[in-house]
Amino acid sequence: MLSDQASPPSSPKRRITVAAREQFREELVDIARRIFLSEGYAAVTIRRITAEAGVTPMAFYWYFDCKDALLTVIWDEIIGEVAQACQRQSEAAPPAERLQTYFHAMLDYWLTHPDYFRFIFLGESPNVDMVHLRQQLQDLPGTQQVYRDLHALLRANAPAVDNLDTACIRIRTLLIYRLFGFLHSVIGMRHPDAAQLARLRDWVQTDLKHTLIRWQQGAEF
């Protein structure tokens, strides 16, 4: 027998706004970033991240395919912060000094944040191909922003050459290799004291400056 009473209306489904989704995604990133930096790759698990966020592990997969996908997001976020810091300092410098200032700012950022540098470029795991993960950074927004910034600054200071874009990419690659080779040595292996670090920093800054001057004068690299 059917009841004469009307069925209560069903509760409307809760809608999560785009802003709320983005805020929650950032919360997951912040939790993972803290654990990665303080305890290393092995300490980070999806279960631990979501437990701290107060959700089930399945919620993680709405935002990231796996832990390694989250790791590259965090790496790229830090590189984006480096790009912003370098850009601010470069824009505050006189036009003729902006290119050198950008490189010097990048050098100083990593030297004052060696834990970030180790986290991105020196960390290893027996079960993860970190080299492959780092290669993915080339196509992510943070690294691409650094490349765009440097390309624009190099073009503004370039000598009169054929194939200007190719020449800018070549000198940019050389300078980045020199800069990061120095950082790998100092942060990853040498661990100099403050006085030694200051001397080494001055040396690499002078080397970068002279290389740029020679390039601007038409030297080929």
Taking every pair of Cα atoms in the chain, the longest distance, rounded to a whole number of angstroms, is 96
Condensed to tens digits (0 to 9), the pLDDT of residues 148-180 reads: 999 999 999 998 888 999 999 999 999 999 999
Instruction: Specify the CATH number for the domain of residue 156.
Output: 1.10.357
Identify whether residues 59 and 79 lie together within a single domain. no
- C-beta of residue 215 within 8 angstroms of C-beta of residue 171: yes
54, 161: one domain? no
Other CB atoms closer than 10 Å to residue 199's CB: what's the count? 10
CA atoms of 83 and 110, how far apart (whole Å): 11
Task: Give the pLDDT confidence of 121-140 residue by residue, as tens digits.
Answer: 998 888 889 999 999 999 99
Looking at the structure, do residues 147 and 190 belong to the same domain, yes or no?
Answer: yes
Asked if residue 79 and residue 164 are part of one domain, the reply reads yes
Same domain, 193 and 84: yes
- Residue 70, C-beta contacts closer than 8 angstroms, at least 6 positions apart: 28, 29, 32, 49, 64
User: Which residues, 6+ apart, have CB-to-CB distance to 124 below 8 Å?
Assistant: 130
Same domain, 45 and 87: no
CB of 121 within 8 A of CB of 184? yes
In the listed set 28, 44, 64, which residue is the last one of a domain according to the structure?
Answer: 64
99 & 203 share domain: yes
Same domain, 89 and 46: no
Q: Does residue 1 fall inside a structural domain?
A: no
What are the residues whose beta carbons fall under 8 Å from the beta carbon of 74, sequence distance 6 or more?
29, 32, 33, 36
Predicted confidence (pLDDT) per residue in 18-63, tens digit: 677 788 889 999 999 999 999 988 888 999 999 999 988 898 999 9
Residue 221 in domain: no
Given pLDDT bands bounded at 50, 70 and 90, which one contains residue 16?
Answer: low
Which tops the pLDDT comparison, 7 or 213?
Answer: 213
The per-residue b/e assignment along 131-168, b for 16 or more CB within 10 angstroms, e otherwise, is eebeeebeebebbbbbbebbeebbeebbeeeeeeeebb
Same-domain check for residues 97 and 195: yes
How far is it, in rounded angstroms, from Cα 173 to Cα 175?
A: 6
What is the Cα Rg of the chain in Å? Answer: 24
Residues 132, 186 within the same domain: yes
89 and 128 both lie in a single domain: yes
Same domain, 110 and 168: yes
Instruction: Work out how many domains the chain is built from and give that number.
Output: 2
69 lies in a domain? no
Q: Which domain holds residue 193?
A: 75-216
Q: Which residues pair with 125 in a beta bridge?
A: 128
